[in-house]
Structure 1
Amino acid sequence: MLLGVFIGVVYASTDVPDPDSVVNAQTTVVYYSDGTTVMAKLGDENRTNVTLDQVAKPARYAILAAENRSYYSDPGISFTGILRAAWNNVTGGSTQGGSTITQQYVKNAFLTQEQSFSRKFQELFLAIKLDNNYSKDEILQNYLNTIYFGRGAYGIEAAAETYFGVQAAQLTPQQGAVLAVLIRNPSYYDPESHPEDAQDRWGKVLDAMVSEGWLSSTDRQASTYPPVNPKAASGLGMPKGPEGLIVTQAIQELESKGYTEQQIRAGGLRITTTVDPGMQNAAVTAVNDVMGGEPQNLRQALVAVDPRTGAVKAYYGGPSGTGNDYAQAQRQPGSSMKPYVLATALEQGISVDARRNGSSPQTFPDRTAPVRNSGNASCPACTLKEAITRSLNTTFYGLAYEVGPDNVRDTALKATGLPETWQGGLLDGKKTLASPESGVTGSSIGIGEYEVRAVDQAVGFATFANGGIHHAPFFVAKVADNTGAVLLQNGGDAGTQAVPSDVANDVSFALEGVADYSHRSLAGGRQVASKTGTQGKQGSTVDDTDAYMVGYTPSISTAVWMGSDQQDAIVNAQGKPIYGSGLPGAIWQEFMNTVLKGTPKEPLPSKALISGDTGHGVPDPSQSAAPTSDAPAPTQQSAPTQSTEPTETDPSETSTSTSSSSSTSSPPPAGGLPLPGPGGGGQGGTRTQGSPPGQGAPNG
């Protein structure tokens, strides 16, 4: 008696929502980090509602055969499904139970994606009341207009166009069966994703149609799997601007956590990203300000992360939300790889005050042709701190040889978080940092000839900024359903000590002078650790193809890359080569000044902690000392106020002077390689025609 009264009260108090509210319930909204500023809406774009008589009967029958054969005779619910859900809830099993089309419509249109018995209970009463208030044809029509079929297609009309290029009224039984298969799991049963499974289930749907009398045995025997349009890159719901690439990254991150395409695209989720709206605006503005009037073939990327958590705070991978994402492009980092070499040396007990040979050119045992500094700069006994500030290739090629190139690679992988293998190894014949197949057997890794992405550099330098603790980058801070119930809260991983803290602090100490040396100091004398990087193309005499500027404070790490689609030589509007401190440096400087304005000035380490090898060695008597230059060191200047290249060439990459602490009488470096002889001739700053990479390249 009491149970009957309870059921009656619940039934009477259950309101059936207006079917017009379905679109809002299914639409997933992506927000910036403030949780209120909308970045994108997914779910209401590729949808065209049709009446039931505008859907071919064979297609209707195929969907009924796949999902609910007793649809026109059942009360709108499956009692066995409800009981199974209740039992699984009690025993801790799966809450997935068999659902009628009416129940599916209720769940997708009016309820959350929560898998619980309480949600099933609510679904039960809504389905019964819906079945009593609307005709079967009305419910089926609404269902067919709201169900998600994958590839961004909502409703059967959009699905017919997406998969077959026809209207729903023109669907054949065979085409209808393809769409019917997709309803259960659009991603898995996409004909391109798992063709064998998709075709196997397709055959079962046709068999069910035969058993129900909806398809003749003759037509079943003659049925062949229909051709399906190839999957196209979907920009549906993506912002037209750079933020579309952020949405793509957020979707991929959720998919890696087990969210399905249907949950993300049609589940009415509320996704809060880590991207700060002010910082993102600053990134886009900096790119646009600096690149105004520059050659159209130039491409840019900017990634900024919080070193303390790994949260991505700004992300610019290109101007189009559905175009190429250059923040994910694998390009040679040039001299922005040198901090990993330094970190490896520090971990082996070599101090930042240790002196090594930076003469140019030099030859090395693992290389037949000489290595040169950009501009043929020379410093026979610079400290490692001086050498990294001046970006001396010979010093860091030799240091990588000394400490072991594989050890350098290990340091870089730990700092960036890249896996030991990456996307199948060697990519298109290119050497990538995370590809053992590329064969890191030479010391050219020390001058940046193994490819990484801009996002990797932002994360790797963030590890140094965070005392050696690495956090994986992430884009999604929170996921809620359309009622506000939190489904996922993400503050980043716990972090791992990728490099010792004293090593990380010494790297920061060593990099503090680079921004000032490169004319990219931050406003107000704010301390910042940074490194430029410029890489050339093998066999070219005008060969700057990639340029980086990467730098950090304790609270933000930012990497900027510039290059081109075809890795052509990159030049500015004046036709001059682009170095890391040039246009990339200008973007980096403007962005950093903007996002840090008004924030506390955070100090970097004021002195080195590692006091190991700091002495001078004895020259190899079989080698002669390299000559030095008597030219004075470049004058230190404050950063320019305008976002333009500060000089015709990058002073940190093309200087021909020596350190003021060096002279022809300076003692040779300690440890490592003996001082090589003068080596061959050639023009400094460019690579001779046909020379291997790294030999004379402007790697600064």
Structure 2
Amino acid sequence: MAIAAPNRDADRTVALGHGARPDPGEAPTVFMTKTPGQARSEPELLTHREPELEEGYGDDDFDDEDKGPTEEELRAMRKKKIWRRVRRTIYVAAALMFIGPVLAFFITYQLVDVDNPEDVARNQAKVVTLLYNNGEEMSKVAGSGANRVMLKPEDIPDDIKHAVYAAEDDTFETNSGFDIGGIMRAVWSNATGGGGGGSTISQQYIKQASGDDDPTLSRKWVEVVKAYKMNKTYDKKYIITAYLNTVYFGRGAYGIAAAAKAYYGIDDLKQVTRPQAALLAGMIQTPAKSKLPEYQKKRYEYVSGRMVVNGWMSDQERSSAAFPTPLEAQAGKTASLTGPRAKIPFLVLEELEDLGFDDARLKQNGYKITTTIDPRAQQVMEDSVAQVMQGQPANMHMGMVAVDPKTGGIIAYYPGSDPNGTNWANIKQEPGSSFKPFDLVGLLKLGKGLQEMYDSTPKSFGGSKVVKNASKPSCGECTVATAMKESLNVVFSDMVYHDVKPAGVAEAAKEAGITSDLSKALDLNIAIGGGQTLVSAREMATAYATFASGGVRRPSHLVAKVEYPDGGAAWEASAEPSYAEALAFDPNNPDTNSKIARNVTESLLPIPKSSKIECAKDRPCAGKTGTHQYTNPQGVETADNAKAWMVGYTPQVSAAAALSAENGAPLKAADGKTVYGSGLPGKAWQKFMNAYLADAPKENFPRFVPIGEPEKPTQSSVPKPTTTDNVPPPVTTTDPQPPVTTTTTETDDPNPSATTTRTKPKPTTTDIPLPGNN
């Protein structure tokens, strides 16, 4: 039995670990017998107090242990601990990154289904409704079922499949529905400012089946899962067949069968050649551009090149094959609009394509499209042109456009009376003297104004053909204001040659709203709207609208808004940055910008009245006539005109009327007389303006603040009552024959009294090239 220890603590308990029981009394703790060989006693309980040591006892023995770890060791321990935590966090995150997507993929896989081609085809056939700006229905764009052929796998030749693989997904036969490499390349391309979606053919089918093209991660995720499921469910031959039966190729063609018919008139796909297949496949990427020849060639080169790389076409075949030029595009099917309005829906659809709403997207959603066309303005324009052109030769055609200066919306559009004929409102042609206001803009930007003086005496500029005025000026030294009213060619040629320069005129025209390429018109002919200066009636109405709005440029457009069938907004011009207004002539100084526009207006205000086509009720109207001289097939200039224009505006509306003849023939009225700007186009413009504005309030232009020198008295005593604008163009000739003199009459006055003489000089060296005004 063990010896009992003294009782130091009345509350001490018996050591339970050795089988003892607690004593209800104050009995001492009892220890079990030591195990043989045990060196010391069992440890006492936690409540046991160690004997107090004498001061200084054992100091030498415990010094080193009391110091503990060094600072360096502590830092190492902390780093090790931190790194252990980071490592564990990485392990957990990596596990979650792997397990999470796999789990999400599995769940999504169970929830999604793949639409079959028949359902997709039905969704692509919804009707699109076009509305006037007041909400009235204009037209409906029919569904695409009429031109669709649902093919079977054996109906599609390998050449066509290979071309599509080369264009869109050359790993189609081996991938699982998505291509990680393609997705990563697309991410990199977009991050570095490039393009490309990285979608496989399977993903593209899913996208067109859903009609959802939003660039969201959730949409892309579902698309990838569906594509994978489709490839696990169906054979590749059925997937490519479904894709080629439903994909949009442009030209209103859904599916490869319809595309072969639309582009090449081919009904049997076995007749499609490899080069033709390459072009067709190339149109899938951006069908909205399929009408552009440069895009066709670019895509053909790319696809045929990829076919060579993949062994689906030989390099020799590619290099020897001619470009497979498609047939001329035919208009799609719309509801039965006739006459001048028949072309408007197609113009609206073209604009929508440029905005990203191609035919496939429109019919997938069945949108409602509100246009800018005002039905009353449209009717007024049609009536005005019909009345003026009644009884006139059938080979002459009017193009006319009206623009709202406050919005840029086209409120009326007259492309011609033949719904299947040329769009005369959008054809590029020489504007003649109606381009002179852009000369003036260039001068005003230099700080020179309407009272600037120029000599109107006929002269040559840089060795060009002698430039003469269309009629006898009322002054020798003339102000710019007088020169604009009398349309003096010499003054404006002098102004451009010495001050503004051709590039300055082109710049001013672009600033006002001209969108045509003027890079080939950078010679002196641009001063009088001749040579390679080619613009449309729509552009001129848009550019003059910038003058009407005080120098604020707004892009002209036909689409006001796009809505879902339930009325939800999909797009609106008023909220579109590219449609925003801008200061045209001086973006940094609104005051100078508005002054330039107002000075141009001041120069144009007298012209409608002097040309006898003024607005009714003394309404302020500004405008300019213009003609382009006719040169016969032998290259001889005549007294006739090939083009005749009138462009003018009030603060409420800007309108341009352009008259031309088929095959570039001369303009001859029914009475056999030459047509001028103040004639048929001027009369149509006048009728439209007066009828359209009949009940509108009279709006005045802002206060006129002249730019440049103060007003000077003119040297003219009797101003001419009419505006002259037929332009004898500056021409450089290499004809070694002696000078030839011709006399022609060029004036808007139906009873001209003035004649001018043109002299063709001997060839000289020029410092500004002056090609013929043809």
TM-score (norm 2): 0.63
1:233 to 314, 328, 332: 328
Report if aligned partners of 2:163, 2:278 keep a CA contact under 8 Å in 1: no
d(CA) in 2 for partners of 1:413, 1:288: 31
Unaligned runs of 5+ in 2: 1-98, 587-592, 727-740, 748-754, 762-772
- In the alignment, structure 1 residue 161 sits paired with structure 2 residue 261: yes
Identify the range of structure 1 (444-453 vs 286-295) with the bigger mean alpha-carbon deviation: 444-453
Report the CA distance between 1:479 and its aligned residue.
5.4
d(CA) in 1 for partners of 2:316, 2:711: 83
Identity %: 27
1:412 to 508, 514, 523: 508
d(CA) in 2 for partners of 1:524, 1:355: 33
Report the CA distance between 1:127 and its aligned residue.
6.5
d(CA) in 2 for partners of 1:654, 1:95: 52
Within 5 Å, give how 1:209-248 maps onto structure 2: 229-237=324-332, 242=340
Report if aligned partners of 1:177, 1:206 keep a CA contact under 8 Å in 2: no
Identify the range of structure 1 (460-469 vs 304-313) with the bigger mean alpha-carbon deviation: 304-313
* CA spacing shift, 1:230–1:562, aligned 2, 3 Å: same
- What's the C-alpha RMSD, in Å, of the aligned pairs? 5.2
Please name the residue that 2:650 is paired with. 553
Please name the residue that 2:613 is paired with. 520
- In the alignment, structure 1 residue 685 sits paired with structure 2 residue 746: yes
d(CA) in 2 for partners of 1:269, 1:235: 22
* CA spacing shift, 1:130–1:579, aligned 2, 3 Å: same
SS at match of 2:332: coil
Report if aligned partners of 2:449, 2:708 keep a CA contact under 8 Å in 1: yes
Please name the residue that 2:177 is paired with. 78
Please name the residue that 2:307 is paired with. 202
Report the CA distance between 1:237 and its aligned residue.
1.7
Please name the residue that 1:50 is paired with. 150
* CA spacing shift, 1:53–1:507, aligned 2, 3 Å: closer
- In the alignment, structure 1 residue 537 sits paired with structure 2 residue 537: no
* CA spacing shift, 1:351–1:49, aligned 2, 3 Å: closer
Identify the range of structure 1 (246-255 vs 571-580) with the bigger mean alpha-carbon deviation: 246-255
- In the alignment, structure 1 residue 653 sits paired with structure 2 residue 739: no
Report if aligned partners of 2:263, 2:327 keep a CA contact under 8 Å in 1: no
Report the CA distance between 1:391 and its aligned residue.
3.7
- In the alignment, structure 1 residue 579 sits paired with structure 2 residue 676: yes
Within 5 Å, give how 1:477-492 maps onto structure 2: 477-478=560-561, 486=570, 489-490=575-576, 492=579
Q: Given residue 461 of structure 1, which amino acid in structure 2 is its aligned partner?
A: Y
Please name the residue that 1:338 is paired with. 436
Q: Once the two structures are superposed, what CA deviation does each residue of 1:200-242 show, in whole Å capped at 9, x if it has no partner? A: 22245655xxxxxxxxxxx999987987752122123266755
Larger radius of gyration: 2
- In the alignment, structure 1 residue 445 sits paired with structure 2 residue 533: no
* CA spacing shift, 1:108–1:480, aligned 2, 3 Å: farther
Q: Given residue 527 of structure 1, which amino acid in structure 2 is its aligned partner?
A: P
d(CA) in 1 for partners of 2:148, 2:447: 67
- In the alignment, structure 1 residue 496 sits paired with structure 2 residue 621: no
Please name the residue that 1:602 is paired with. 699
* CA spacing shift, 1:265–1:501, aligned 2, 3 Å: same
Within 5 Å, give how 1:286-685 maps onto structure 2: 286-320=384-418, 323-347=421-445, 352=450, 362-363=458-459, 369=466, 371-374=468-471, 376=472, 378-379=474-475, 384-393=480-489, 396-397=492-493, 403-406=499-502, 409=505, 412-418=508-514, 422=517, 425-426=519-520, 435-436=521-522, 439-440=523-524, 445-446=527-528, 451-453=533-535, 454-478=537-561, 486=570, 489-490=575-576, 492-498=579-585, 500-537=593-630, 539-605=636-702, 607-610=704-707, 612-616=709-713, 634=721, 651-653=722-724, 684-685=745-746
Identify the range of structure 1 (111-120 vs 382-391) with the bigger mean alpha-carbon deviation: 382-391
d(CA) in 2 for partners of 1:45, 1:241: 26
Q: Given residue 600 of structure 1, which amino acid in structure 2 is its aligned partner?
A: P
Report the CA distance between 1:582 and its aligned residue.
1.3
Report the CA distance between 1:570 and its aligned residue.
0.8
Q: Given residue 589 of structure 1, which amino acid in structure 2 is its aligned partner?
A: Q
Report if aligned partners of 1:341, 1:400 keep a CA contact under 8 Å in 2: yes
Q: Once the two structures are superposed, what CA deviation does each residue of 1:175-203 show, in whole Å capped at 9, x if it has no partner? A: 89648844752669987434432222224
Please name the residue that 1:676 is paired with. none
Please name the residue that 1:668 is paired with. none
Q: Once the two structures are superposed, what CA deviation does each residue of 1:419-471 show, in whole Å capped at 9, x if it has no partner? A: 7x937x43xxxxxxxx33xx23x8x8157666241333223322221222333
* CA spacing shift, 1:493–1:323, aligned 2, 3 Å: farther
Please name the residue that 1:107 is paired with. 207
Q: Given residue 614 of structure 1, which amino acid in structure 2 is its aligned partner?
A: E
Report if aligned partners of 1:530, 1:551 keep a CA contact under 8 Å in 2: yes
SS at match of 2:723: helix
Report the CA distance between 1:584 and its aligned residue.
0.5
* CA spacing shift, 1:235–1:364, aligned 2, 3 Å: same
Q: Given residue 503 of structure 1, which amino acid in structure 2 is its aligned partner?
A: I
d(CA) in 1 for partners of 2:284, 2:547: 47
d(CA) in 2 for partners of 1:503, 1:176: 53
Please name the residue that 2:730 is paired with. none
SS at match of 1:592: helix
Report the CA distance between 1:295 and its aligned residue.
0.9
Q: Given residue 177 of structure 2, which amino acid in structure 1 is its aligned partner?
A: S
SS at match of 2:612: coil
Question: Quick one: higher RCO (CA 8 Å, sep 6+), 1 or 2?
Answer: 1
Report if aligned partners of 1:461, 1:550 keep a CA contact under 8 Å in 2: yes
d(CA) in 1 for partners of 2:505, 2:157: 62
Please name the residue that 1:212 is paired with. none
Identify the range of structure 1 (336-345 vs 178-187) with the bigger mean alpha-carbon deviation: 178-187
* CA spacing shift, 1:180–1:405, aligned 2, 3 Å: closer
Q: Once the two structures are superposed, what CA deviation does each residue of 1:646-683 show, in whole Å capped at 9, x if it has no partner? A: xxxxx43399xxxxxxxxxxxxxxxxxxxxxxxx9956
* CA spacing shift, 1:183–1:204, aligned 2, 3 Å: farther
Report the CA distance between 1:345 and its aligned residue.
4.7
Report if aligned partners of 1:42, 1:236 keep a CA contact under 8 Å in 2: no
Q: Given residue 576 of structure 2, which amino acid in structure 1 is its aligned partner?
A: N
Report the CA distance between 1:581 and its aligned residue.
1.5
Q: Given residue 600 of structure 2, which amino acid in structure 1 is its aligned partner?
A: V
* CA spacing shift, 1:551–1:13, aligned 2, 3 Å: same
d(CA) in 2 for partners of 1:518, 1:51: 64
Q: Once the two structures are superposed, what CA deviation does each residue of 1:48-67 show, in whole Å capped at 9, x if it has no partner? A: 32341771464686489667
Identify the range of structure 1 (23-32 vs 310-319) with the bigger mean alpha-carbon deviation: 23-32
d(CA) in 2 for partners of 1:223, 1:351: 64
* CA spacing shift, 1:314–1:129, aligned 2, 3 Å: farther
d(CA) in 1 for partners of 2:283, 2:673: 57
Q: Given residue 467 of structure 1, which amino acid in structure 2 is its aligned partner?
A: G
Unaligned runs of 5+ in 1: 208-218, 427-434, 620-625, 635-650, 656-679, 694-698
Q: Given residue 425 of structure 2, which amino acid in structure 1 is its aligned partner?
A: A
TM-score (norm 1): 0.69
* CA spacing shift, 1:131–1:229, aligned 2, 3 Å: same
Report if aligned partners of 2:441, 2:596 keep a CA contact under 8 Å in 1: yes
Report the CA distance between 1:245 and its aligned residue.
5.6
d(CA) in 1 for partners of 2:530, 2:480: 17
Identify the range of structure 1 (143-152 vs 483-492) with the bigger mean alpha-carbon deviation: 483-492
SS at match of 2:508: helix
d(CA) in 2 for partners of 1:543, 1:354: 32
Report the CA distance between 1:550 and its aligned residue.
0.8
